Structures are given as structure tokens and as C-alpha cells.
Chain A
Amino acid sequence: MTLYRTARTALRSLSRNPMRALLTTLGIVIGVGAVIAMMEIGVGSSSAIRKTIASMGANVLLVLPGTASSGGVSFGSGSVMTLTAEDAEAILRDCPSVRNTAPVVRARTQVVYGNRNWVPAVMYGTTPAFLDVRDWMDLAEGEAFTDRDVLNANKVCLLGQTLVRELFGGESPIGKEIRVKNVAFRVVGVLSAKGANMMGMDQDDILLAPWTTIKYRVTGSSLQSLNQSSSSSSGSSVNTLSRLYPSAGVQLYPERSETQAADQPMPVRFANIDQILLAARSAEEIPTAVEQIKSLLRERHRIRPGDPDDFNIRDMTEMTRTLASTTSLMTNLLLWVAMISLVVGGVGIMNIMLVSVTERTREIGLRMAVGARARDVLQQFLVEAVVLCLVGGGLGILAGHGGSYLVWLTLGWPVESSPEAVAAAVAVSASVGIVFGFYPAWKASRLDPIEALRYE
């Protein structure tokens, strides 16, 4: 007996009692519907949460320079300058798990516009990639500075919302010039509002500029304020290009005069930066990314095996993991409840199939008398159960989808359709049919045709 014919026969026997078939599948419909709805709502909310966390910088890694210490006294993180802008480029090039990198040079000084002034909490010199790393691509106004601005150390900047409010009040800052340590910056864009971060710090109190500009035009080296061991030399105020070059910490040679320096500017070979901000491709890839960065930087910095790193890598996975595990816990819990209802539905199917086998004993006897083998009978009843379950599964998928759509419509919960859940629902309902349909079918196939024909 071909499968096609068996399926036809099964459908025909089921259609002899459509109401009962429908009620029997109701258990599966509810079970599968619940699974689908749970999965869609669960996936939707967990991806919404993931998106939120990502915008808070959950995929972001921070590479900080290592610690200088002398005589057992450590100067804390960032007290040696080991990172360069080339490190950032190399990481982007050689670490496949890293989506983007941005070198960062920090500064903290006063910003002046007209008769107002403000000291932004964060003043970063960086590259346009920073906006991508921090998920800050959509600007409120204007546009970001470019890589060309970074190369030329152009005096342009982006302002955060808080800074705009404090300096400009109501007017648009685009095209206006602000002064940072007597260097005039043209405002090219305004960042969109991001609000406070997890620690309650205002993330909009920020000024972004090309890192070359901040480094060479605004600060000599950001270390000056931190590291007591570096002397604050070259305090002269001759207006030359000296601001373009970092002031050296240790003077090996007699200091050049301002005129000498102006005449013969020394090429910069190492452009140290304060930190590298980078984004992993996904939260799952963070550990891989950390490993890749670690080995790359050790190689680039020529650190021998066994020697300590001259850099630190920070991530925010703890936060991500906590939140993600909360949602997945909820989803799993609901999924189990839905699974239980599927099992209950399966028991319902078994019950009805058993009733059906008893009720149709004479039919089974007749089929055997006209030449059905035990395995034909087994197949027929098994297919009937599976058909019931698959029909229930199909209706359940529709019901679950409709249910989650309704939830989205009325409660506004984020919902995301998940093809995996649909595939799983089909597989589960088919296997429920086989598992719970087997016993009745087996019982039917074991009937003795003579007894069955005589059954009243």
C-alpha cells in the first residue's frame, strides 16, 4: 500500500467524523499555538533587549594601555603609552571577530562659545568609526567628520546634546566656531540624544573631534595631567606649529629652542593614543575577539612569552549576560509550559485513537479479510494520528502567529517571527503523532481478523 493511498484512506476515515477529529486536534492546536506564540514573543523581546544593550555598548571592548611602575609604585592604568593608532588599524585588519575600531585620545578642557563656556565630561579625539562602534550613526543635525579630517588634523568637531544646550541655547550650532584651548573648532554635526548610561553618567555631555586634532592641537599629551613623572616643559607661548607635535616626556638631548623647532619640525614616528574602542561582531564573539586582540597586540608590541601584557582589555559582557540570561530563562520556562500542553494534547490523541480502534474493530477485521496485512493496518492508524497532529500543528502555527500578532497589536510587545519555532512545531507535532499514535495502531494491527469480524 503506497503512502499516498494510506494518506488518502486516513483522510477519508478522519472525514467520516470531522467534529471529533477537530476536537481531538484542539489539544495540539493549543500546544503548538502556545509554543509559537511564546517563541515569537520571547525572541522578539530578547532581540529588543539585545538591541538596547548593544546601543549601551554591550559589544564594545576597550583596550587600555598597561601600567607603569617603578620601585613597587604603580601609576595605574594608562600611565605608560603603549598603544598607537596603527594598533587600532591592525586590529581591524587582522581580527575577524572585530567589527570596527576607533582610537581614542582623551582631553578635559574648557569649551567656549561667545560668552558661554562649559567643560564637557568627555572630550574624545577619535575617527568617524567611533560612531559606528558606539551605535551612534544617526546624527541629530549635520554630518560626521571624515577620515580626511583625521589625516589633516582639521579643526572640526561633533557636539553632544548637553553641550549644544549649554553653549548654544536654542540656536543651531552647525557651522559655528567654538574655542577649545584657544583652538577654533568648526561644529559640523550634532549627535543624537543617548541619555544617561548604566552608571547614571550623562552620555550627551560629549565633544568628538579628529584624534590628530585633539592630540596635536589641543593637548600635547593627555598624560601631562596624570603622570607626575613627566615634566611640564615647553611652557612657552610662541605661536608656532609646536602644538602639532607631542611634547617629549624625557629629554635625551638639549631642548631645542622654539625657533629651531619652528624651522625644522621633527617628524612624528609614534602617535600614542589613550585607548582603543572597538566593537565585536556580536555579543557571542566577544571572547574570541579578546583572544585575537590579545595575541595580535602581544606580537605587535614584541612581548616575550611569559612577560605580562602592556595593555588591558575590558568588556561589558557581564551586563549583557545577565540581561540575556534573564530573557532566555523566561522563554525557556514558557516553552516548557507549552511543551507540557503538547504532551497533554498527545495523550488526548492517543485516547481518541484507542476509542477509534475499538469502534472500528469490525472495519479492521474486514480490511484484514480482504487482504490488509498487519503492517498496512498499523500504517493506516499511525498515519491517521500523524495527520491529526500535523493538521493540528498547522492550525496551531496560524493560531500562535495570530496570537503573537494580537499581542503586538494590543500590548505593543516586540514580536519577531521565528522560522526555527515553526520547524520545531511541525517536527514536534509529527513526533507526538507517531509516539502517541503508535500504541493504538499497534493494538489495531494485532487484532485477530476472525475475532474482529465477529465483534459487536
Chain B
Amino acid sequence: MPVLVDISLRIQRGELVAIMGASGSGKTTLMNILGCLDRPTSGQYWLDGQEVSGMSADQRAMVRNKKIGFVFQNFNLLPRTSALDNVAMPLSYTAGDLSQREARKRARDVLARVGLAERLHHEPSQLSGGQQQRVAIARALVNRPPLLLADEPTGNLDSKTSEEVLGLFEELNREEGVTVVLVTHDPHVAGHARRTIHIHDGRIVGEPPVAHKEGIFEKGGAP
């Protein structure tokens, strides 16, 4: 029983898209494929001009490192590690082109960008939920990826901090041109997106099928 069927989707550079669906609808699987964590059983996935579905695990790791930033529902920060080190962590997997100092500087800049310039040396346990999610966003941004994937980014936050975090996503999309894909089941969150893709039982509903492949971010049909 395939989870996703007949998916045909194109996301342009600079879009702010929400993928909505009830739990079990296949939206997480779609996000895993978009995030190069998983491969479609059949079909193609073109990311930034590269066909990803045929890549090896190591190649996909490089793609994730360079092109994709992940934001998770439960933040996934390293415990007992300062915000700065948490943010600098992905840089250690980029081949050693950055010195330790440059890496720390870049992490500091990104943290300042998300409004946490004062909290560089706080550990996750000393930060509020909203601040933790900001650290996670800073970590996703530290490699300057063109694509930001957020899986239920506000699921663990109260409504006020949710607004702040979503505002931050909108701001990043508007000012930096980062493509943002929000995966959520909350219509309110989806309301912040300029385009909403609904998934139901593994199929996209209410979207016209893609006719040709011109897009930068594109997903070919998968059974």
C-alpha cells in the first residue's frame, strides 16, 4: 500500500508554501522526500536542477547539508550544548573550508538574525520554547540553504510564540528569498503561506497537475 500516489508538484524558488493534511495523509513522507531523507519508490525529484532520487546516501547527505535546512516540531537541539555550538554544528560537516573562528562568527550572525544575539551561550534548557525554535531555525539557516523545510514548527508552541516564529519564516522568505515549505495540519499556520497544498490519502487535492518541468523545485509523480 503506497503512502503517496500520483504526486505531481512544482515549487518555485522564493515561494512560501504550506502542505496541509490530516495525520496519516502522507504529508510527512512527502516532506521526507522533499528533504532528501527518503527516496520515492518510483518517479523523479528534481531539486535545484539535480535529480535526487538516484543519488547515494552520502550524496544526499551533501545535498541536505548544502541546500536544505530542517526545522522540527520538537526542536531537536543537542542537550547541554550552547546555542552557539548547536547552530555551528552543521558547519562541521561541510568540508573543512571554514575555520573554527569563521564558523563561530557565522553562527553568531545567524543567531543575531533570528533575534537571539543575547542568548549565545545559553543551553537549550535555559531557553523558552520559542527561543529554542529560533535556535533551531538559526541552525537550519547557518549553511545558507535556499530551501527551508519546517515540520509542524509550531506544534509545541503557544499561540503567541507561534505567531512570532511564523512571522520569522515570512520575514526570511520576504527578505532573504528563502523558499519555505511548512508542513502542518493547522489551518491557521497554513494561513500564513501564500499557497497551500492539501494532501488527502496520499494524493494532492485542489492543485492543477504540473504540465512541464521548468521549476527549480519539482516533484515528479510517485506511486
Contact = CB atoms under 8 A, between A and B. Distances in A.
Contact of A372 (B61, B70, B143): B61
B61 A368 contact: yes
Contacts of B93: 1, 367, 370-373, 376
A16 B80 contact: yes
A9 B64 CA distance: 20
A371 B38 contact: no
Contacts of B37: 369, 449-450, 453
Nearest to B64: A371
B76 A9 contact: no
A374 interface: yes
A362 B37 CA distance: 14
Contact of A371 (B32, B80, B94): B94
Contacts, number: 65
Interface string B166-203: 00000000000000000000000000000000000000
Nearest to A2: B96
Interface centre among A17, A369, A373, A375 (most CB of B within 10 A): A369
Given A16-B80, A371-B62, A371-B66, A9 B92 contact: yes
Contact of A363 (B61, B65, B78, B143): B78
A362 B72 CA distance: 11
Given A366-B76, A369-B64, A371-B65, A5 B70 contact: no
A2 B61 CA distance: 17
Contact of A370 (B70, B81, B96): B70
A12 interface: yes
B96 A453 contact: no
A16 B79 contact: yes
Nearest to A369: B70
A362 B74 CA distance: 11
B57 A450 contact: no
Interface in B82-97: 85, 89-90, 92-94, 96
Contacts of B64: 369-371
A2 B95 CA distance: 8
A16 B81 contact: yes
Nearest to B59: A373
A453 B76 contact: yes
Contact of A373 (B61, B66, B100): B61
A362 B76 contact: yes
Nearest to B79: A16
Main secondary structure of the interface of A (DSSP, over half): helix
Nearest to A456: B74
Contacts of A2: 96
Contact-residue bracket for chain A: 20 to 34
A53 B76 CA distance: 69
Nearest to A454: B28
Interface string A362-388: 110111111111111000000000000
B158 interface: no
B35 interface: yes
Contacts of B96: 1-2, 5
Nearest to A368: B61
B108 interface: no
A199 B66 CA distance: 84
B27 interface: no
Contacts of A363: 76, 78
A370 B93 CA distance: 8
A357 to B, nearest CB: 15
Contacts of B10: none
A371 B90 contact: yes
Contact of A1 (B58, B78, B79, B92): B92
B89 A367 contact: yes
Contacts of B100: 5
A374 B94 contact: no
A450 B36 CA distance: 10
A370 B85 CA distance: 14
The residue among B62, B78, B81, B143 with the most chain A CB atoms within 10 A of its own CB is: B78
Contact of B35 (A16, A366, A369, A375): A369
Contacts of A1: 92-93, 96
B92 A450 contact: no
Contact of A374 (B32, B38, B58, B72): B58
Contacts of A370: 64-65, 70, 89-90, 93, 139, 143
A450 B72 contact: no
A372 B35 CA distance: 14
A21 B216 CA distance: 48
B38 to A, nearest CB: 6
Given A5-B96, A12-B81, A371 B76 contact: no
Contacts of A5: 92, 96, 100
Contacts of B78: 16, 363, 366
Nearest to B67: A371
26 contacts: A2-B96, A5-B92, A5-B96, A12-B81, A12-B85, A362-B76, A363-B76, A365-B76, A366-B72, A367-B89, A369-B37, A369-B64, A370-B64, A370-B89, A370-B143, A371-B61, A371-B64, A371-B65, A371-B93, A371-B94, A372-B61, A373-B61, A373-B62, A374-B57, A450-B32, A453-B72
Given A2-B96, A369-B37, 9 more contacts: A1-B96, A16-B81, A365-B76, A370-B65, A371-B65, A371-B93, A371-B143, A450-B37, A453-B76
